[in-house]
Amino acid sequence: MNGEVFKTLCAETAAQGARLVAVSKTKPVADILELYHAGQRVFGENKVQEMADKQQLLPADIEWHFIGHLQTNKVKQLAAFVSLIHSVDSLKLLEEINKQAQKNNRVIDCLLQIFIADEVTKFGFHEDELQDLLHSNAFRELKNIRICGLMGMATNTNDTVKIENEFIALHTLFNKLRETEFKQQPAFCELSMGMSSDYKIALRHGATLIRIGSMLFGQRDSVNLL
């Protein structure tokens, strides 16, 4: 962990009223603890089993954010403790999160992942699909989930204008939903966008959560839990 980088990131996010999600995927618990002792409480993981294992080993006041593609059959493994799921990309997944939240007697906070990149490898709703979801009866019946905002991943490119335009599009959609579908819902306030390579652009365009991995923890190789 690079202490100076951490301090700078904290200052940059605080200046925009945003929060830092430290993406600790593939990194050992010792690395997470080091950042925890420096004051970080929000950590992001993209594999269910890995997050559940780490949650068992680490302090209880860590907020665990799930940021990866989530399969419905794995939701029950994180339903008891997850703080925020950034990557909800289907009604079927929302229904399963709702069901597992109910079993755990809680409400699970979720972000809807929006497809903004021009890469087929990325997941997320297109805007028209999102409208269908929000207007469906099935969605309205879900009482144990709370939609707290949107998440998106920009195209993996050096073209900063392209990245900027994708973030602007997501911010615009976020603002539009805040004025319409979610007008009466102050909890709809999070915009998760920006990673190590593009977080500065994201912060300029309204990100409230930035997801930073390699810049904090160094490059990733293989999974190394202990």
Ligand X SMILES: *Cc1c(COP(=O)(O)O)cnc(C)c1O
Residue (145 or 210) nearer to ligand X, CB? 210
Residue (25 or 171) nearer to ligand X, CB? 25
Residue (142 or 217) nearer to ligand X, CB? 217
Q: Quick check: helix, strand or coil at residue 7?
A: helix
Task: Please name the helix (run of DSSP H) or strand (run of DSSP E) that holds residue 84, with its range, or none.
Answer: strand 84-88
Q: Which of 71, 185, 214, 224 binds ligand X (CB under 6 A)?
A: 214
Minimum distance of ligand X from residue 214's CB (angstroms)? 3
Q: Report the residue closest to ligand X, judged by CB.
A: 213
Residue (116 or 195) nearer to ligand X, CB? 195
Q: What are the tokens at 192?
A: 């998760």
212 contributes a contact to ligand X by CB under 6 A: yes
Minimum distance of ligand X from residue 30's CB (angstroms)? 18
Residue 36-55 contact track with ligand X, rule CB under 6 A, x = bound: ----------x---------
Of 93, 87, 52, 50, nearest to 71 by C-alpha is 93
Residue 56-85 contact track with ligand X, rule CB under 6 A, x = bound: -----------xx-----------------
111 contributes a contact to ligand X by CB under 6 A: no
Where b means 16+ CB within 10 Å and e means fewer, 59-81 reads eeebebbbbbebeeebbebbbeb
Distance, CA of 58 to CA of 23 (rounded, Å): 15
Distance, CA of 39 to CA of 33 (rounded, Å): 10
Distance, CA of 149 to CA of 14 (rounded, Å): 19
Minimum distance of ligand X from residue 225's CB (angstroms)? 17
180: left (phi over 0), alpha (psi -120 to 50) or beta: alpha
Residue (171 or 211) nearer to ligand X, CB? 211
Q: How far is CA 132 from the centre of its chain?
A: 22
Site for ligand X in 147-176 (CB under 6 A): 153
23 contributes a contact to ligand X by CB under 6 A: yes
Residues interacting with ligand X, by CB under 6 A?
Answer: 23, 25, 46, 67-68, 153, 195-197, 211-215
